Structure 1
């Protein structure tokens, strides 16, 4: 039996991509929550054992909140991209968005460089 929509496999690939972004966003949010909770542990241990130097980790809570915000932004962007691609597939006007890929790649490289500098 033939499908009425000739673009079924394209839409299914688009859905798989959205699901991959959803999994990634959930992982980033969960990592942010874990880091934020760990920062509370660092603050508590600093009060119990003052000689433990937790001052270097005072921005860990903000990092956790930032990762949660990043996960939310990733999810909104993924949904926007999914809807745009879906409409483009139906209209047979789909063109890959190299600009979005370039911006996302540049942002990840920049975050990696910042993380590398922070580690040293």
Structure 2
């Protein structure tokens, strides 16, 4: 049962990341469209938020994919009573989320001027 709960927790994390990335991309498009409606130069709102949003969505999809692979692997290991815990992906995902957060913070400070 713990294997299923862990799998579902990773899927929720992946879905949350994909949703956040989608919102970042769509908000960027909204700001660009709003600028066009107000007669501003499109180059004023050219930024990296679309790229950052897409990277966040990809990270969320990768988390879901890895969750499924890890779930299947752990199920086999539990059935054979040969289970060994690994924190490699958890550490990698945490580092990626921290790097994306720092990138977003720097980007927001840069564009807020």
Asked whether the two chains share a fold, i.e. TM above 0.5, the reply is yes
Query: Do residues 75 (structure 1) and 78 (structure 2) align?
Result: no
| Residue 90 of structure 1, CA deviation | 0.9
The gaps in structure 1 that reach 5 residues or longer are: 1-11
Q: Structure 1 stretches (4+) deviating beyond 6 angstroms?
A: none
Please tell me whether Structure 1 or Structure 2 has the larger radius of gyration of its CA atoms. 1
How far residue 59 of structure 1 moved from its aligned partner, in angstroms, is: 1.4
If the length of structure 2 is used for normalisation, what is the TM-score?
Answer: 0.78
**Cα pair 1:39 1:57 within 8 Å, conserved:** no
Aligned to 1:84: 73
- Out of 20, 29, 42, the residue aligned to residue 18 of structure 2 is 29
Structure 2 gap ranges (5+): none
Instruction: Give, in whole Å, the separation in 2 of the partners of 1:40 and 1:110.
Output: 23
Contact 1:45 1:52 in 2 (8 A): no
How many residues are paired up? 109
User: What CA RMSD, in Å, does the superposition of the two structures yield over aligned residues?
Assistant: 2.4
Q: Check the 8 A contact 1:46/1:54 in 2, yes or no.
A: no
How far apart, in 2, do the equivalents of 1:59 and 1:110 lie? Answer: 15
Alignment of structure 1 residues 18-57 onto 2, 5 Å: 18-51=7-40, 55=44
Following the alignment from structure 1 to structure 2, what is the Cα–Cα distance between the partners of residues 40 and 116? 19
TM-score, normalised to structure 1, is: 0.74
